[in-house]
Amino acid sequence: MELDTRFPELPKTVRINQDLKRGQFLEALSDIPPGVIVCCERGLSITLSPTRCRFCASKEILLNSSTCQQCESSTNCASITRIQDGLQERLQKFGFLELALRIVLSHSAEEITEVIQKFSSRKKFPITSSNKRRFELVANLQGNKAAPIDSIGVDNLLDELVDRLEQCDSPWISMPDYRKRFKEAIRFVMERLPDNAHSIFDVDQIAQIHDMHAFAEESSWILHREVTRALEGQSASHRVHSSQQPIALGLFPISSLINHSCHPNTYSYTNGNMMIYRSRGIRKGDEITDSYGPNIWNHTLEERRVHTARRGFDCWCSACENSICLQNVLEGTTDGDYLTDEECLLDADQLEPDFDTLIRKFRRISQRCTPGNQELDRFAHFIVAMGVRKGDLDLSSEALKILWKSLEARNLLLCPERGFVAHAQALILKEKWERSKDEAVLQQCQKSFFSALVAYRTFFGCDGLFAKELTDSFTGIFV
């Protein structure tokens, strides 16, 4: 993949664009196949977990240390450590102050001062950043001067930090009026953090968290949880685990340009303090979008509007502008102009959909639509869970096969969704085998089990939560 020379976080197939309605956003310059990385950005972060590197959130920390080998040898990390050591607890009392300090100390004083002056005179400016001008990315993020800051407490702590700058011979002290400029820089960054900072969760924790924009919002994740609950008679509420705290808090300026959509064309996840976005299939000229939580698969239109209102913005995606949600599609009440000819097949019956009606629609659509059709995939997710609740495991298995063919058609067999679909199929085949004791069914179950296990271990680690859940479900059978 050839990278952009100015923005190495992006491939050359993606550019930063701007208009009055959306502000700055990312746009595809060519068709981007599913699974291809469209943004890969290492953020500036503070680590909240004592078992991770304090700078990059890596698991590989040195013995009797709070840093990894790479950060231990970094002169910038060493400088930050000298300045803030002993002040962490006080820094954390003021919200984003610790993260703001880390961001300011990670850029040159001259660059920050110049960018702040440029920004104050023009309010907004086109990003012209190069590898040597990274603070422009931070400066151009949306600010929030209304963010509450304890002025007296912050000023007192900033005075101590400035004293540390002098003791550590920081480059800041060579700037004229550096005490005032340093405080101005900290406040400038703090104004931009409330609306743009990301909480970073361990991949093993994602299944425990509501309203995450990464894998927890994948309909396939919901799918295998629904199947598990239905087969095991569990409550419909999410299981709550003891550890639900983020491992780190970070700022990803390029990733912050990816706007929300309730019908996103990427999926995202983190690896340490690295944010990665992969394509679901993006056409040339399309805006690159991600879900900040609400989406058309798991939320009603009203729920989506409430979610986005709480975050302080209105969603302008085509699904919201056309009042689209999955229930509309299943009931055939969606505006046909928004849907393709294949998707309009869902409108074949104008009756209130019952189980038999949905099955007829599903089978008719599955015969006519090609593998990879998005509406067919969503309908298949619905049918899997419905089949399990109604006790029709053959129907659920049939729908899962369609989802598997869709993964093949979209070149997504090397992705986490493969594990979710195979996991659900293994659970259903396990139930069928326990009813029939048919060895052929057991062999199919074993194949699905190992397919899911390989995917989970590849993406979430051998000891990850998903792999553990899978092996726990099949203890005494395959493990």
CATH number at residue 312: 2.170.270.10
Say how far apart CA 101 and CA 183 lie, in whole Å: 10
pLDDT exceeds 80 at position 342: no
Q: Are residues 376 and 405 in the same domain?
A: yes
Residue span of the structural domain in which 303 resides = 1-49+245-321
Residue 397 in domain: yes
Q: Which helix (H) or strand (E) segment is 269 a member of?
A: strand 266-271
Q: What is the pLDDT of residues 70-92, one digit of tens each?
A: 999 998 888 888 888 888 778 87
Residue 383 in domain: yes
pLDDT, mean of residues 341-347: 37
Residue 367 in domain: yes
3-class state of residue 32 by DSSP: strand
Say how far apart CA 247 and CA 201 lie, in whole Å: 5
Residue 83 in domain: no
pLDDT exceeds 90 at position 30: yes
Q: Are residues 307 and 329 in the same domain?
A: no
Q: Are residues 401 and 336 in the same domain?
A: yes
Q: Which of 386, 412, 438 is the last residue of a domain?
A: 412
Q: Are residues 311 and 336 in the same domain?
A: no
Q: Which helix (H) or strand (E) segment is 229 a member of?
A: helix 219-232
Q: Which of 275, 302, 321 is the last residue of a domain?
A: 321
pLDDT exceeds 70 at position 169: yes
pLDDT, mean of residues 138-153: 67
Number of domains the chain is built from: 2
pLDDT at 11: 93
Q: Are residues 250 and 314 in the same domain?
A: yes
Query: Greater confidence, 353 or 389?
Result: 389
Q: Which of 266, 288, 321 is the last residue of a domain?
A: 321
pLDDT at 151: 62
pLDDT exceeds 50 at position 473: yes
Q: Are residues 277 and 346 in the same domain?
A: no
> Which residues make Cβ contacts (< 8 Å) with residue 443, sequence separation at least 6?
none
Q: Are residues 251 and 316 in the same domain?
A: yes
pLDDT exceeds 80 at position 144: no
Cβ(205)–Cβ(403) below 8 Å: no
Other beta carbons less than 10 A from residue 338's beta carbon: 16
Per cent of the chain over pLDDT 90 is 9
Q: Are residues 332 and 400 in the same domain?
A: yes
Per cent of the chain over pLDDT 70 is 75
**Tokens 């007192």 correspond to what residue?**
156
Q: What is the pLDDT of residues 398-446, one digit of tens each?
A: 888 888 888 777 666 666 777 888 888 888 888 889 888 899 999 999 9
Please compute Rg for the chain using Cα positions: 25
Q: Are residues 393 and 332 in the same domain?
A: yes
Residue 102 in domain: no
Q: Are residues 258 and 314 in the same domain?
A: yes
For residue 157, what are its two tokens? 């702590």
Q: Are residues 291 and 351 in the same domain?
A: no
> In this structure, are strands 37-42 and 274-279 parallel, antiparallel, or unpaired?
antiparallel
Lowest mean pLDDT among 213-217, 267-271, 272-276: 213-217
Residue 261 in domain: yes
Cβ(208)–Cβ(240) below 8 Å: yes
Cβ(425)–Cβ(470) below 8 Å: no
Say how far apart CA 206 and CA 10 lie, in whole Å: 25
Residue 240 in domain: no
Residue 310 in domain: yes
353: Cα separation from own chain's centroid: 33
* pTM, full prediction: 0.63
Q: Are residues 256 and 312 in the same domain?
A: yes
Say how far apart CA 98 and CA 251 lie, in whole Å: 12
Q: What is the pLDDT of residues 221-269, one digit of tens each?
A: 334 444 454 554 433 333 333 345 788 889 999 998 899 988 888 878 7
Q: How far is CA 357 from CA 48, 341, 347, 353, 395, in A?
A: 51, 20, 11, 6, 14
Per-residue burial over 224-257, b if 16 or more Cβ lie within 10 Å, else e, is bbbbbbbbeeeeeeeeeeeeeebbbbbbbbbbbb
